[in-house]
Amino acid sequence: MARIHQQPWWGAPKNFNERKHNRKVSWLELFYDLVYVAAIAQLTHQLAAHPTWHEVANAFLLFTMIFWSWINGSQYYDLHGGDNIRTRLLTFWQMLGMAAIAITIHSFFEGHHQSLTLAFIFIQIMITYIWWSVGFWDPSHRVFSRFYTTNYLIAFLLLIISYFLDYKYVAPVWIVVLLLNLSPGLIGARTIVKGMKERGQVFTASEAIIERFGLFTIIVLAESILGTVSGVAEIQHKEPVAWIAFFLGILISFLLWSIYFDLTSQRDTRTGYRYLQLLIFLHFPLLFAMSVVGACIKVLLEDMHTGVHGTVLWIFCIAMAVLLLMIVALTAVMEQEEGDLSYVRPTVKVLLAVTAIALLVPLFSKWLNTPIFLGIITLLLFIPVFSGVSFWIRYRYKKE
C-alpha cells in the first residue's frame, strides 16, 4: 500500500486533512460539469414536450438523481481529488455514465426504463466505489465513509431489482433509492461533527465547492435561455410580438441570475457541517425549479398564437415561487457582513411579497397571452433586483 501511495502517476485519494479551503476550481471540474449540460438539456426538453404535473413529478425524480451524482462527484474532488491519473479516470467514468443517462432519458418518458436503469446502476457503483476507497486508503476517515458506502450499496441493489420490474413500479423503488442516497450526510452528521471536534477541526465548505454550486446554477439557467431561443426559432413568421417575447424571455433569465448571485455569491457558508448540508439540500428544489421555468418559457413561446394554457402558468409560477423561496432560505446559510445585510434583509422581504403575488397570476390566465404573462413576470422579478441595488447604493452613500 505504501508503494502505491508513492506512485504519483496513479495516486491514492487525498487525505481529508489535506483539503484546502481556498483552492481554485480546476479545469477538470469545469469539464466534468459539461456532461450535466447534456443531461439537464434532455430532461428539460422532455418536460417542455409534456408539460403536465405527472411529468413534472417524473422529471423531479430524475433531476434529483442526476444532481445527487453531480454533488458526489464534486464533493469527492473537493475533499479527496488530486492531479493524478486516478482522479482523471474516475472523473471520465462518471462523465461516461452521465452521458449514457442523457441519451436514455427520453426512453423513460416513453415508458421504457431499462436502459436508463442500467446507466444509473453504473453511476451508482462508481460513486459507491469512490467513497469506499476513501475509507480504504485513509482508515481515519473510514468512520465517515461507511455511512455512504452502506447506503449506496443498498441503493445499488435496489436499482438492479428495479431493472426487472414493470415500469409502473419503478418510480416507488427509485424514491427509496433516492432517500438512501441522500441520507448518509444526515445520518452520519453527529459522528462526523464529533470526529472532527476530536481532531480540533470545525467543518466549513470550501470556497471552491461554493463556487461549483454557482457554476452549476449557471448551467441550469442556460436552459432558460435555450428555451427562449429554441421557442422563438420555431416560430415561422417572427412578428414584432415574437421579438418582444424573445426579449422578455432572455430578460427573465438575466433577472433570475441577478437575484440568485446578488444574494448568495462571493460568500462562505456559515461555520458548521449542517450549513453545508443545507446548501446542498436547498439547491435540489431551487435548481429543478429553474429548469422547469426554462421548459415552460419554451412551451409558452411555441404556443404564443394559440393562447396560454392554465396548467403551464401554474407550473411556471409555482416553480418560480419555489425558486425564490429557496434563494431566501440560502441567505440564512451564507455568512453576511454588515454591507451584505444592508440590502439582503430588505430584499428578502421584497422577494417574499413578489412570491406571493406571482402565485396569484395564474388565476387570471384567461385574460393573458404569452407576451403579457412574460411581461408581468419580468416586472415582478425586476422589483427585487431594483430594490436590492437601491438598498446597496443607499448603504454605500451613508457610509461615505
- How do residues 80-110 score in pLDDT, each as one tens digit? 777 778 888 888 999 999 999 999 999 999 9
120 and 265 together in one domain:
no
pLDDT at 201: 66
Q: Let me know how many helices (H) and strands (E) the chain has, helices first.
A: 15, 0
Is 309 part of a structural domain of the chain?
yes
pLDDT at 85: 82
Compute the C-alpha angle 34/50/159, nearest 5°: 60
CA distance 87 to 12: 9
At residue 334, φ and ψ (nearest 5 deg) are -90, 150
User: Which three cell numbers, joined as nine digits, stand for 45?
Assistant: 426538453
| More confident site: 74 or 154 | 154
Strand partners, 50: none
224 and 255 together in one domain:
yes
Enclosing domain of residue 269: 207-394
List, in order, residues 6 or more apart from 323 with CB less than 8 Å away. Answer: 256, 285, 286, 289, 290, 293
User: Which three cell numbers, joined as nine digits, stand for 353?
Assistant: 411579497
- What's the farthest any 2 CA atoms get from each other in the chain? 73
Is it the case that residue 186 has pLDDT exceeding 50?
A: yes
pLDDT at 16: 64
Which of these, 264, 231, 270, lies nearest to 247 by C-alpha position? 231
Domain count, the chain: 2
Is it the case that residue 8 has pLDDT exceeding 60?
A: no
- Taking the model in full, what pTM does it have? 0.89
Which tens digits make up the pLDDT trace of 168-179?
A: 999 999 999 999
pLDDT at 137: 79
189 and 105 together in one domain:
yes
Is it the case that residue 302 has pLDDT exceeding 70?
A: yes
pLDDT band at 328; cut points 50, 70, 90:
very high
At residue 390, φ and ψ (nearest 5 deg) are -65, -45
DSSP structural state of residue 269:
B
3-class DSSP assignment, residue 36: helix
User: Which three cell numbers, joined as nine digits, stand for 32?
Assistant: 466534468
CA distance 262 to 256: 10
165 and 212 together in one domain:
no
Which tens digits make up the pLDDT trace of 357-387?
A: 999 999 988 888 888 899 999 999 999 999 8
How many CA atoms lie less than 13 Å away from 295 in the CB half-sphere? 28
Which of these, 389, 394, 348, lies nearest to 258 by C-alpha position? 389
DSSP structural state of residue 359:
T
For the residues 146-151, what does the mean pLDDT come to?
A: 86
pLDDT band at 265; cut points 50, 70, 90:
confident
Is 1 part of a structural domain of the chain?
no
Is it the case that residue 136 has pLDDT exceeding 90?
A: no
| Lowest-confidence pick of 3-12, 59-68, 189-198 | 3-12
140 and 256 together in one domain:
no
pLDDT at 18: 64
| DSSP conformation letters of 20-33 | -TTPPPPHHHHHHH
Is it the case that residue 191 has pLDDT exceeding 90?
A: no
Average model confidence (pLDDT) across the chain = 85
pLDDT at 230: 84
Is it the case that residue 123 has pLDDT exceeding 90?
A: yes
186 and 288 together in one domain:
no
How many CA atoms lie less than 13 Å away from 398 in the CB half-sphere? 8
User: Which three cell numbers, joined as nine digits, stand for 216?
Assistant: 452549476
User: Which three cell numbers, joined as nine digits, stand for 93?
Assistant: 467514468
Which tens digits make up the pLDDT trace of 193-204?
A: 676 676 666 677
141 and 37 together in one domain:
yes
Strand partners, 312: none
252 and 370 together in one domain:
yes
49 and 130 together in one domain:
yes
Please answer whether residues 207 and 21 qualify as being in contact, where contact means their C-beta atoms are separated by less than 8 angstroms: yes
User: Which three cell numbers, joined as nine digits, stand for 265?
Assistant: 455569491
